[in-house]
Structure formats: structure tokens, C-alpha cells
Amino acid sequence: MKNLIALTVVIVFAIMAYSFNFPEDPKKVPEKYDKLINPFKADAASIKSGKETYSMLCRSCHGAGGKGDGNKAAYLETPPADFTSLAFQSQSDGAIFYRVFYVHKDMSSLKRRMIDNESDIDGSFGTSSGPGDLVNYLRTFSK
């Protein structure tokens, strides 16, 4: 009986250690975000607003055309995303939102820079149009 208890304890600790050593893939978009729909219409005003945000916060790394070739791109450890790629454009609006608004290795979180109230962004696009406008603008890039 003691051996069974000892074996159970060892297995539990091994599982716990394994979970700490292999965190969930940070590139994987949680389902709740992947299913989000951008509540902000991609009209001219939204796209203009998104372009202004992009110019201030994204252009230096991702480039004017969104190809990941901005003037700061060469200094990054990982290459910036190419917003013109089919892989990027095939994502849901919610997936793009998630990837843009959460910290990445070389990219500071835009969440802190664009959203004044943390409660505005709680697994949704929030109440301000900034995040939705940026996603709408990113959708305008194509090869």
C-alpha cells in the first residue's frame, strides 16, 4: 500500500513538473477569441482610424505595406508578421485581435497602449472602436 501511495505521489509531481516545463503554445488562439466577431463595421471612418493607429504603433516594424519590412524589423529577434499573407488574412477577426493585443516576444502589448480601461477588453473587442478599427485596417492589406 505504501508503494502505491508513493507511486501516486511521484506521478502527480511528474505531471505537475511537466506542465510547468511545457506551457501552452502562445501562438495558439484561445477558442473564445477565435470566435469573436468584430462589432465595428469596416467603413471608411473605421479604416481611416485604424490606419492612423497603424501608422503610430505598427508601421515601424511591419512596414507601410504590412509586409513585415519596416525600418525596425531587422533589429527584432523574430520577424514581424506579414499582414498581406494568406495565412494572416485567413484568420478570424478575433484571432487577429488576440494576436495584436497580447504581448509577443518582440512586440509590446498594444492593449496597454490603446485601451484606457482594462475592463474595456475582457475577451471582447471592448467598447472603444480602436481595436476593431485596427483589425479592419489590417484587413485592407493584400498581396
The pLDDT of residue 54: 92
Smallest CA-to-CA distance from 136 within 43, 36, 35 is with: 43
Does domain 25-138 sit in CATH 3.40.50?
Answer: no
34 vs 108: which has the higher pLDDT: 34
Judged on CB neighbours under 10 Å (0-12, 13-18, 19+), 8 is exposed
pLDDT in tens, 67-80: 999 999 998 888 88
pTM of the full structure? 0.74
Name the residue ranges covered by the structural domains of the chain.
Answer: 25-138
pLDDT in tens, 112-132: 566 555 544 555 676 677 888
